[in-house]
């Protein structure tokens, strides 16, 4: 068969066929006194003319998820409302299922091609199908077809997608449908949805969905007066730019990278290219709000395709600006914090720990994220606050609307959006069961944490805020094994003073009521930095300037904190934990800085702590290999499981794609931890484990089994882990586990689970 060169694109942007002309024509059609079907047919003709298509068809979704031919130019007219395709049928069904465009030069040769004799498409070859999407849900498919064998060009696909976005908006608002069809489309948009994501923080919540970035209120799609909309857009941009100028003026004291971030943000607000795109959309006949929505959707699509963290942040800036402009245009830009209803479930593409802490925690009951893994710092904060959380559900974020009923099961990773009454009843029963189980744990809080065969364990809890401390008494934990002091640095607008830090540490010790509190010195860097901090961009921030590396370089950061700790713990036992230590010399340098502050306080005749114990976090392979040498310089050691695991497996713990790829119960990792435990035993130094993974019952069992009996876990895990330890025969389990670590080649999770179930251990 001779090689065929595709003909030139029939789509030639110009005064007769540009998207602007098409959108103008659509606006004119919507303003005409026609029935809904007549308007839809006229729009189909306009699209076919603009795209120089032999066929243009619009399929819309029905309540039974079939795709019905609602309008066509080029196919048989009698097929309209008669031809219905199953959700998994043909090329149209493939576009609907994938929610993505399909561009083919020879449609009939595709594996999913389905011939329907009643539509009359025998002589067609080229096929372009784009989904009609609204809030992430497929409402239909726009199809362009030609007799020639050709692939549609990128600008043709983009033009079709732009038209599909407009179609989605007018279809969703019922502007192109008869009343009964509009009601059915509304039902499709609001039907119950079920998702399975990554379980992050356990717990069941039945509440009300709140979008972190709520969509704008309903508005007209097409302008009554283009000049008026141009002026509204101009005024809105002016107000937006003024707001950004005020924001920067209020933060005039910032310098370095923090200042650059704000300046880049301002550059985007004044960007002529962005403004021109908005103006072009308005000049095509859209209202200012619809123009901003169109830009918003384009940005979101691009952002999800970008992997470079820096570029993603810049696209986040632009995306945020479009939302701000939308609020200005709709009169919602009042500067107030997000208002939460009772039993609020927050849905967001992404969220930082500081943003979480700014919300009303009395009303916020759960979190659903588009991104996120169970080892992120947001997850750590959410656990500390007892907020059930599920991650990895971008589709749930797209489909949810503020005010929807929602169920979140942080134990299984399930999310039910707009659930039916039967589903609500099932999860209400589970919620009650879990609360009753918690009541049983509360009743057991004063029982000793000793196994059946007499092996004792120290069960401590993690904390980072004063709000966490009441859990100490409620859970029966013997102390706070890890108090994350950096959270105080992240939630404010400036570096906390030594006096402010002292007040927090003093209250923490008071609320602990004599139980030990291990204060980890500020662990900043990597993904933990506030806007006011001057942080250089690093290619691999997790392995960059962070933890003790930063604090020994910046004594101006470390010494005020040490001053605050020494003052707050005067007359008491002070525990200081140094994070992210890699080599012995870092420990020596840090101890010299601590000694300087001790001597300073002694010279000023200030009361010192009764005793000071210095510890080190073993969370890099380098420090693990030198455990015995590092032990000579400190009083206790603590394995930082979260970082240790990510460096051991060379897997970024913030990556949703990798977070579940490597199991902490893999024999190689357990063997590595066993080596550290043996080194600590030889050095005769106490060793603990403060990773969030210790809250996993099977991981806690394994740690006890390899000899690590001091665990610091999230507060909600204290009761279940204590009950498990009290039911264990540690010597029997250790004997069973040792050869498995030596011989197994895959995760031991299934076999440890079987061991526990066969012996009736409570998991």
Residues facing 301 on adjacent strands: none
CA angle 756, 759, 763 (to 5 degrees): 40
The secondary element (H helix, E strand) that includes residue 169 is: helix 154-172
Q: Name the residue among 624, 615, 671 with its Cα closest to residue 643.
A: 624
HSE-up of 124 (CA within 13 Å, CB side)? 23
Contact yes or no for 683/628 (Cβ under 8 A): yes
3-state SS record for 61-123: ECCCCCEEEEEEECCCHHHCCCCEECCCCHHHHHHHHHCCCEEECCHHHCCCCCCCCCCCCCC
Domains of the chain with bracketed CATH: 19-189 (3.30.450.40), 193-212+338-435 (3.50.30.10), 226-329 (1.10.274.10), 444-532+543-758 (3.20.20.60)
Kindly calculate the radius of gyration of the chain based on its CA atoms and give it in whole angstroms.
Answer: 30
Q: Name the residue among 668, 720, 674 with its Cα closest to residue 697.
A: 720
Q: Can you give the pLDDT at residue 30?
A: 82
- Position of tokens 């929602």? 406
Instruction: Reduce the DSSP state of residue 277 to 3 states and report it.
Output: helix
Chain centre distance of CA 375 = 11
Contact yes or no for 189/169 (Cβ under 8 A): no
CA angle 736, 737, 738 (to 5 degrees): 100
Chain centre distance of CA 758 = 37
Contact yes or no for 142/164 (Cβ under 8 A): yes
User: For residue range 461-520, what is the model confidence (pLDDT) as tens digits?
Assistant: 988 777 678 888 888 999 999 998 877 776 555 678 889 899 989 999 999 999 999 999
Angle of helix 19-31 relative to helix 272-283, nearest 10 degrees?
40
Contact yes or no for 20/284 (Cβ under 8 A): yes
3-state SS record for 641-669: HHHHHHHHCCCCCCCCCCCCCCCCCCHHH
Threshold 0.85, pTM exceeds = no
d(CA 85, CA 119): 12
Q: Name the residue among 532, 629, 619 with its Cα closest to residue 577.
A: 619
Token duo for residue 279? 């103006």
Q: Can you give the pLDDT at residue 523?
A: 81
Q: Can you give the pLDDT at residue 544?
A: 72
Token duo for residue 144? 């362009």
d(CA 643, CA 527): 12
Token duo for residue 278? 């908005």
Token duo for residue 211? 């979008």
Q: Can you give the pLDDT at residue 756?
A: 96
d(CA 265, CA 261): 6
- Taking the chain (763 residues) in runs of 10, the rounded mean pLDDT of each run is 41 48 80 86 90 92 88 92 90 92 93 87 91 85 94 88 85 75 74 86 91 66 85 87 70 42 63 79 84 72 50 54 75 66 89 64 90 63 82 85 91 89 82 81 91 96 78 90 80 73 92 94 66 60 78 87 96 95 94 95 95 96 95 96 88 68 91 97 96 89 96 89 96 97 94 96 91
CB count within 10 Å of CB 740 equals: 16
Q: Can you give the pLDDT at residue 4?
A: 43
Strands (E), 513-664: 517-520, 573-581, 611-618, 636-639
- Positive or negative torsion for Cα 243, 247, 249, 250: positive
Query: What are the backbone angles phi and psi of residue 68, rounded to the nearest 5°?
Result: -100, 135
Q: H-type helices in 304-420, by residue range?
A: 309-329, 353-357, 377-385, 394-399
Backbone region of residue 55 per phi and psi (left: phi > 0; alpha: psi in -120 to 50; beta: other values) = beta
Q: Name the residue among 442, 449, 460, 467 with its Cα closest to residue 386.
A: 467
Contact yes or no for 172/137 (Cβ under 8 A): no
């Amino acid at each position: 068969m001779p090689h065929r060169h595709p003909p030139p694109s029939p789509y030639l942007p110009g005064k007769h066929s540009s998207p602007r002309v098409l959108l103008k024509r659509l606006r004119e059609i919507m303003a005409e006194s026609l029935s809904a079907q007549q308007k839809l047919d006229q729009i189909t003709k306009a699209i076919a003319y603009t795209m120089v298509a032999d066929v243009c068809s619009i399929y819309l979704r029905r309540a039974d998820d079939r795709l019905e031919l609602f309008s066509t130019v080029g196919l048989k007219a009698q097929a309209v409302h008669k031809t219905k395709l199953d959700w998994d049928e043909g090329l149209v069904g493939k576009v609907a299922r994938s929610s993505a465009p399909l561009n083919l030069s020879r449609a009939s040769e595709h594996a999913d091609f389905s011939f329907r004799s009643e539509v009359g498409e025998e002589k067609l070859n080229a096929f372009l199908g784009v989904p009609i999407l609204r809030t992430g849900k497929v409402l239909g498919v726009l199809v362009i077809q030609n007799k020639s064998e050709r692939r549609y060009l990128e600008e043709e696909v983009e033009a079709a997608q732009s038209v599909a976005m407009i179609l989605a908006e007018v279809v969703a608002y019922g502007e192109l449908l008869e009343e009964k069809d509009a009601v059915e489309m509304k039902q499709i948009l609001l039907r119950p949805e079920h998702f399975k994501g990554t379980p992050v923080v356990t717990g069941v919540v039945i509440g009300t969905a709140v979008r972190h970035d709520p969509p704008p209120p309903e508005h007209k799609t097409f302008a009554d007066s283009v000049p008026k909309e141009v002026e509204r857009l101009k005024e809105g941009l002016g107000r937006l730019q003024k707001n950004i100028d005020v924001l920067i003026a209020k933060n005039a004291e910032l310098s370095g990278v923090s200042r650059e971030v704000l300046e880049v943000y301002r550059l985007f607000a004044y960007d002529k290219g962005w403004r021109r795109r908005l103006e072009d959309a308005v000049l095509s006949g859209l209202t200012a709000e619809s123009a901003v929505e169109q830009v918003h959707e384009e940005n979101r699509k691009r952002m999800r395709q970008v992997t470079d963290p820096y570029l993603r942040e810049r696209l986040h800036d632009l995306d945020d600006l479009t939302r701000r402009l939308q609020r200005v245009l709709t009169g919602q830009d009042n500067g107030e914090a997000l208002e939460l209803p009772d039993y609020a479930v927050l849905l967001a593409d992404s969220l930082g720990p500081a943003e979480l802490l700014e919300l009303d925690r009395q009303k916020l009951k759960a979190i659903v994220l588009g991104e996120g893994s169970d080892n992120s710092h947001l997850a750590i904060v959410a656990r500390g606050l007892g907020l059930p959380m599920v991650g990895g559900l971008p589709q749930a974020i797209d489909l949810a609307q503020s005010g929807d009923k929602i169920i979140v099961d942080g134990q299984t990773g399930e999310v039910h959006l707009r659930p039916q009454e039967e589903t609500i009843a099932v999860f209400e029963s589970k919620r009650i069961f879990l609360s009753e189980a918690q009541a049983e744990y509360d009743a057991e809080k004063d029982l000793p944490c000793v196994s059946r065969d007499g092996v004792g364990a120290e069960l401590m809890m993690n904390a980072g805020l004063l709000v966490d401390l009441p859990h100490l008494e409620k859970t029966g934990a013997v102390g706070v094994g890890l108090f994350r002091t950096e959270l105080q640095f992240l939630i404010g607008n400036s570096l906390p003073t030594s006096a402010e830090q002292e007040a927090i540490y003093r209250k923490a010790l008071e609320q602990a009521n004599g139980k030990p509190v291990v204060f980890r010195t500020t662990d900043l860097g990597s993904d933990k930095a506030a806007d006011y901090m001057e942080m250089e961009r690093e290619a691999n921030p997790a392995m960059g300037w962070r933890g003790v590396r930063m604090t020994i370089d910046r004594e101006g950061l470390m010494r005020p904190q040490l001053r605050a700790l020494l003052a707050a713990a005067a007359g008491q036992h002070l525990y200081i934990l140094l994070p992210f230590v890699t080599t012995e010399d870092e420990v020596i340098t840090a101890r010299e800085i601590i000694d300087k502050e001790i001597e300073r306080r002694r010279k000023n005749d200030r009361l010192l702590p009764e005793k000071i114990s210095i510890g080190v976090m073993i969370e890099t392979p380098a420090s693990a290999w030198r455990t015995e040498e590092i032990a000579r310089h400190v009083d206790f050691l603590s394995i930082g499981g979260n970082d240790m695991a990510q460096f051991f497996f060379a897997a970024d713990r913030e990556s949703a794609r990798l977070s579940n790829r490597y199991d902490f119960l893999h024999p190689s990792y357990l063997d590595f931890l066993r080596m550290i435990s043996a080194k600590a035993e030889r050095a005769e130094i106490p060793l603990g484990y403060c990773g969030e993974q210790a809250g996993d019952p099977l991981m806690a069992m394994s740690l006890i089994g390899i000899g690590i009996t001091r665990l610091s876990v999230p507060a909600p895990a204290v009761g279940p882990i204590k009950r498990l330890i009290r039911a264990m025969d540690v010597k029997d389990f250790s004997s069973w586990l040792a050869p498995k670590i030596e011989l197994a080649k895959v995760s031991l999770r299934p076999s440890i689970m079987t061991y526990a179930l066969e012996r009736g251990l409570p998991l």
